[in-house]
Chains A and B, each alone.
Chain A
Amino acid sequence: MKKENESTASIILSAASILVTVILFRGFSLSYIAVIPLAVAAGFSAGTVLLPVLLVLITIGFISPEMIPWAAIAGGMISSTAGTGRVVRTAGFLSVAVCMWFVPLEASTIPVTVSAAGAFFSRRKPVGYAILAGGVLLAAFLTGLPSNPGQSPAVAASHSENGKIRYTIPALNGAVPEILIPAPLSGEWAMWLAYEGGGVRDTMPLAAVTLREEIVILPANPESLCFSFSPGDTLRISLLRENSPFSHPVIHVSAGGELI
């Protein structure tokens, strides 16, 4: 018993001390507070199979603190359903609740509700897992999938040499719904854009391509567009469809141009 208590304390203290280090080096963010209940859940999971899962999530959070809210929500929900003992499950619920307070997720009440149900009603593990699975399915169909509305658009990187320019553009999907393609600093450019949309089963509008006052709505088909770029212009490509069950909208774009 004494050894277990020491393991629990040492895990919690380790996480807390590293969190302080992260705050000192990177500055403070309110969502970092969620690490504390997650660390408590990890500490009280010492000796169980849940510990490696939580340790990996916390480690990812410490490598990239921007991911702490994601790790805390995921780890908290897992702890509240799969944890052994009320302390672990309650700490998991608190981790989710703290994150939800600071992270503007859509459909945010669902994780809190599922986590709370798992924490307080699942004295038997199968009940907890059933609550989790059922909660996820219901949430996906009734309220939609959680997304991050605070996400800013991605900006495509460009490389220009000898009067030619090309852009590196990530794929658009539910996690990256909007891309900006800025015009070069100087000169008039003749541009091309190759578009390929997919993942849906109909021909309804999938993407919007906006430049200056013009907007082109595109369905899920290969398309190519030509346009001119002047300094100060920005081409915006937006995914018009939200991810929903059995629909996986995705857009692949490549673009380049020549100096006129």
Chain B
Amino acid sequence: MIRFARNHPLMTHSFLFSAWMFILWKVCSMPSPGLLGRLLPAAWAAMALLSGKCRAGKWFMPFAAAFTVTAWLWMTWTPGWYLAASISVAGLIAAGISLAGESRSVIRGILPVLLVSVITAEVNSDEVRFAEIACSSIGISSESYGENHLRPGDINGETGHHTSLYPLTISPGLLLAGDRGLRIVPVAIALGATVLLAMVAGPVAAAVSALLYPGFSTLGLAFTGWLALGLFMLTLKDLRGKTALLLRLSIAFVLVALKMRYAGLAAGIIIAEYVLMKQMKGKWLFPASAVLLGIAVLALDRYLLNGSLFWVRYGNIEALKLIWINLFHRPMETLASLGWSLFDPEAGLFFRAPWTIASLFGLPALWVRDRKLFVRAVVPSLVYWATLVVWLGNGFHGLPAPVGRMFVPMLPVFALGLREVWQKKETRILIALSIAVSAVVAVYPQARANFADGTDTILSLLGARSGFSMVRSHSLNLLLPVAAVAALLAGMKRKINSYGIAVLVVFSAASLTGLQGELLETEDLGGNTIQGALQYPRDPDPLVRSFWLTGREILTEFSQTDHSMLLRGASESDTLFIEASSAGGTLLITGVGSLFVSTELTELPEEYRFMGRRDSQVPDVPQNRELQMYRIPVSTSCDTLRISFAGGEPVYMDRAGLL
């Protein structure tokens, strides 16, 4: 027995920890004893069974101690039990990465966490739509997915903006096991794609790519990202000759058929192929043929298939005009969207996946080591990213579907870069932070989604209300995180004090992320401040606010006399600030007086005329009224002010506070 334990250290440690976690969960009376209190110990037991003779790293016991302490202290803080549970998942992720490296088997490393992810994540957003399309396409009878429902972005209740390829791909799972089988095929796809990634980047980098964001965002879930990744990985294999060329072109075509959004990735694969072609006579025919083929497909679709393939979904003339507008009418906004796609707390890559910053540092080494692989991985990823932002504009994020899913096809770049910098201590710090993010999401599934409303679900869980956001901040604020990343990368180049630079950057980012502006964002406030008031718009889907002209923040609607807001800590020297818009409504401020709010409609942007709209002014809806800041001196000795609706048109408030 003792010899067995010595020869199987990770197995022994994992089994013991599984038992300890199960017991401690019950002893410390943590919530969810029936689900997470059994699932996580079971995942650790699974890790034990898969670990073979692998070593338990030195990190194991500190993790176990961390879980013990935080489980015991969970009641001392409201989100305490989530954080305690997430520590056990963090250990599972660390064990998985370690196991993948030591055993050279990435599947053994990622399987326990994959199962936790699949079980805890609710089926929502595109997964539901894919299931409905699959059931209706091949006639599967389903209790949950039997009817097609209209979703934002769909053409109508019957014709979605998704193609049928992915739903057909996942349909075998539904056929085999009914509604519960929705994720059978996606799990297989995720495992297969990870194996392909391991063949190119190594098992450790592949495990990191799967278990941390962005890969973790849809690991084992019915989204197209992992299938696209798997197809992209096939193009990175070192194959030569005409067969390889045909394979890559076919994959490019399949990617577009899978989802229109991957057209950038497909174009990048073709561009990379052209760049790597030997110099020869008539080389220019290759890109010319590709362009002509693309035009022929579009024409065929428009004039023979009535646009049912491409035009009806994304290829209508207005969508093409949108690309033109994003490039030439509002280039600074598009550039800002590129920045937010990296740094926004809700939807940005670096916030949820700080390890990708370290992997960027490894790319120059990849260029030196294998230029062909660099071109084949980086060019398509860059073209995909740029196309995503130019085409979708500030809707690049695809929220409220899982955060980070848009970046999954770019994983090969990050995995290949990570392989070059794995041993650097700054990398380990960023990996640790990334593990923490995935671990929190695994136990707090609501954190998978954000609503582009200025509040990240993980930050909200921690009680932080950041003012730094793509919907709340001026884009110039992006210069700060850009400087931080530059400092981090410069620090990685140094050998002296590189630890300190990395730690300073991480702590600075953390403290700035949690900073709130001086005025309160009314939509963030809880029941002890705001009562009765409604959110505008009622639908939290960010797509509803995507094309708003005066800003994309959710507003708080005061439209009935029982809608009120309490501000505490007022003194006679304070000034009350209210930022609001209305067509003519009155607010009553106890002890101070009343405030009549009336603001102008915003001007019609010139892009409207470019789009062919003939209106002379914008529609009179609340989102088209300018927000105005009102300043009211507090001339009362009451230390609590109540602001309530008194009559007239509804008042839409953005921020308020006492200064």
Chain A residues with CB under 8 Å of chain B are 3, 6-7, 9-11, 13-15, 17-18, 21-22, 25-26, 46-53, 55-56, 58-60, 62-67, 69-70, 73-74, 77-78, 81-82, 103, 105, 111, 125, 129, 132-133, 136-137, 139-141, 145-148, 151, 154-161, 165, 167-168, 171, 173-176, 180, 182, 184-187, 199, 243-248, 250
CB distance from A237 to the nearest CB of B (A): 13
CB-defined interface of B68-107 with A at 8 Å, one 1/0 digit per residue? 1110111111111101000000000000000000000000
CB-defined interface of B416-433 with A at 8 Å, one 1/0 digit per residue? 000000000100110111
- A–B Cβ pairs within 8 angstroms, 30 of them: A3-B496, A10-B499, A21-B508, A53-B66, A59-B506, A63-B459, A63-B513, A65-B514, A67-B77, A67-B462, A70-B76, A73-B76, A74-B69, A78-B66, A78-B69, A82-B62, A129-B61, A129-B65, A137-B27, A140-B72, A145-B72, A146-B72, A146-B73, A157-B531, A185-B562, A186-B561, A245-B29, A246-B26, A248-B29, A248-B33
- Chain B residues with Cβ under 8 A from A248's Cβ? 29-31, 33
CB distance from B488 to the nearest CB of A (A): 12
A15 in contact with B533 (CB, 8 Å)? no
B436 in contact with A56 (CB, 8 Å)? yes
Nearest-CB residue, chain A, relative to B644:
A185
Q: Is B58 an interface residue (CB 8 A)?
A: yes
Q: Is B530 an interface residue (CB 8 A)?
A: yes
- Chain A residues with Cβ under 8 A from B24's Cβ? 136
A156 CA / B530 CA spacing, docked (Å): 10
Nearest-CB residue, chain B, relative to A61:
B510
Which residues of chain B (258-295) have a CB below 8 Å from chain A?
A: none
CB-defined interface of B126-144 with A at 8 Å, one 1/0 digit per residue? 0000000000000000000
A64 in contact with B65 (CB, 8 Å)? no
CB distance from A225 to the nearest CB of B (A): 19
A246 in contact with B532 (CB, 8 Å)? no
CB distance from B531 to the nearest CB of A (A): 5
B65 in contact with A82 (CB, 8 Å)? yes
B29 in contact with A6 (CB, 8 Å)? no
A64 in contact with B499 (CB, 8 Å)? no
Q: A11-B503, A159-B533, A246-B29 are in contact. Are A175 and B497 (CB under 8 A)?
A: no
CB-contact partner of B504 in A9, A18, A46, A173, under 8 A: A18
- Chain A residues with Cβ under 8 A from B584's Cβ? none
A62 in contact with B77 (CB, 8 Å)? no
Which residues of chain B (467-515) have a CB below 8 Å from chain A?
A: 496-497, 499-501, 503-504, 506-508, 510-511, 513-515
B31 in contact with A250 (CB, 8 Å)? yes
A94 CA / B209 CA spacing, docked (Å): 38
- Chain B residues with Cβ under 8 A from A148's Cβ? 75-77
A66 in contact with B510 (CB, 8 Å)? no
Q: A14-B500, A21-B511 are in contact. Are A185 and B59 (CB under 8 A)?
A: no
A51 CA / B506 CA spacing, docked (Å): 13
- Chain B residues with Cβ under 8 A from A58's Cβ? 507
Nearest-CB residue, chain B, relative to A128:
B65
Nearest-CB residue, chain B, relative to A18:
B507
Which residues of chain B (597-644) have a CB below 8 Å from chain A?
A: 644
CB-contact partner of A136 in B61, B68, B464, B500, under 8 A: B68
CB distance from B240 to the nearest CB of A (A): 43
Nearest-CB residue, chain B, relative to A160:
B532
Q: Is B341 an interface residue (CB 8 A)?
A: no
Chain B residues with CB under 8 Å of chain A are 20, 24, 26-31, 33, 57-59, 61-66, 68-70, 72-81, 83, 425, 428-429, 431-433, 436, 459, 462-464, 496-497, 499-501, 503-504, 506-508, 510-511, 513-515, 526-528, 530-535, 559-564, 644
- Chain A residues with Cβ under 8 A from B464's Cβ? 63-64
Nearest-CB residue, chain B, relative to A247:
B29
- Chain A residues with Cβ under 8 A from B561's Cβ? 185-186
A2 CA / B547 CA spacing, docked (Å): 57
- Chain A residues with Cβ under 8 A from B527's Cβ? 154-158, 167-168, 180, 182
A7 in contact with B526 (CB, 8 Å)? no
A158 in contact with B463 (CB, 8 Å)? no
- Chain B residues with Cβ under 8 A from A6's Cβ? 496-497, 500
CB-contact partner of B429 in A55, A157, A247, under 8 A: A55
B76 in contact with A53 (CB, 8 Å)? no
- Chain B residues with Cβ under 8 A from A147's Cβ? 75-76
B62 in contact with A50 (CB, 8 Å)? yes
A175 in contact with B77 (CB, 8 Å)? yes
CB distance from A189 to the nearest CB of B (A): 9
A175 in contact with B33 (CB, 8 Å)? no
Q: A14-B507, A64-B463, A140-B72 are in contact. Are A185 and B564 (CB under 8 A)?
A: yes
A175 in contact with B75 (CB, 8 Å)? yes
Given contacts A10-B501, A158-B531, 4 further A-B contacts (CB under 8 A): A70-B80, A174-B75, A184-B532, A185-B563
CB distance from A143 to the nearest CB of B (A): 11
A111 CA / B69 CA spacing, docked (Å): 9
Q: A6-B500, A70-B80, A186-B561 are in contact. Are A145 and B532 (CB under 8 A)?
A: no
CB-contact partner of A132 in B68, B78, B644, under 8 A: B68
A25 CA / B559 CA spacing, docked (Å): 35
B531 in contact with A184 (CB, 8 Å)? yes
A62 in contact with B504 (CB, 8 Å)? no
- Chain A residues with Cβ under 8 A from B77's Cβ? 67, 70, 148, 175
Q: A18-B508, A53-B66 are in contact. Are A182 and B72 (CB under 8 A)?
A: no
CB distance from B36 to the nearest CB of A (A): 12
- Chain B residues with Cβ under 8 A from A146's Cβ? 72-73, 75-76
CB distance from A57 to the nearest CB of B (A): 8
- Chain A residues with Cβ under 8 A from B497's Cβ? 6-7, 10
CB-contact partner of A18 in B20, B64, B511, B559, under 8 A: B511
CB distance from A76 to the nearest CB of B (A): 9
A67 CA / B528 CA spacing, docked (Å): 20
Q: A14-B503, A22-B511, A158-B531 are in contact. Are A244 and B29 (CB under 8 A)?
A: yes
B63 in contact with A11 (CB, 8 Å)? no
B29 in contact with A243 (CB, 8 Å)? yes
A136 CA / B27 CA spacing, docked (Å): 9
- Chain A residues with Cβ under 8 A from B428's Cβ? 52
B503 in contact with A55 (CB, 8 Å)? yes
A15 in contact with B503 (CB, 8 Å)? yes
A72 CA / B561 CA spacing, docked (Å): 45
Nearest first, the 5 A-B pairs at minimum CB distance are A10-B500, A52-B432, A157-B527, A243-B29, A155-B527
A243 in contact with B562 (CB, 8 Å)? no
Q: A78-B62, A82-B61 are in contact. Are A63 and B511 (CB under 8 A)?
A: yes
B500 in contact with A175 (CB, 8 Å)? no
A82 CA / B62 CA spacing, docked (Å): 6
B534 in contact with A66 (CB, 8 Å)? no
A137 CA / B23 CA spacing, docked (Å): 10
CB distance from A187 to the nearest CB of B (A): 7
- Chain B residues with Cβ under 8 A from A52's Cβ? 59, 428-429, 431-432
CB distance from A215 to the nearest CB of B (A): 22
Nearest-CB residue, chain B, relative to A2:
B496
B514 in contact with A64 (CB, 8 Å)? yes
CB-contact partner of A66 in B68, B429, B463, under 8 A: B463
Nearest-CB residue, chain B, relative to A16:
B507
A139 in contact with B72 (CB, 8 Å)? yes
A63 in contact with B510 (CB, 8 Å)? yes
CB distance from A186 to the nearest CB of B (A): 5
A133 in contact with B68 (CB, 8 Å)? yes
Nearest-CB residue, chain B, relative to A153:
B528
A77 in contact with B69 (CB, 8 Å)? yes
A55 CA / B504 CA spacing, docked (Å): 11
CB distance from A255 to the nearest CB of B (A): 12
CB-contact partner of B503 in A10, A22, A129, under 8 A: A10
Nearest-CB residue, chain B, relative to A161:
B534
- Chain B residues with Cβ under 8 A from A21's Cβ? 508, 511
A7 CA / B58 CA spacing, docked (Å): 20
CB distance from B34 to the nearest CB of A (A): 9
A10 CA / B61 CA spacing, docked (Å): 26
- Chain A residues with Cβ under 8 A from B432's Cβ? 52-53, 55-56
A246 CA / B28 CA spacing, docked (Å): 8
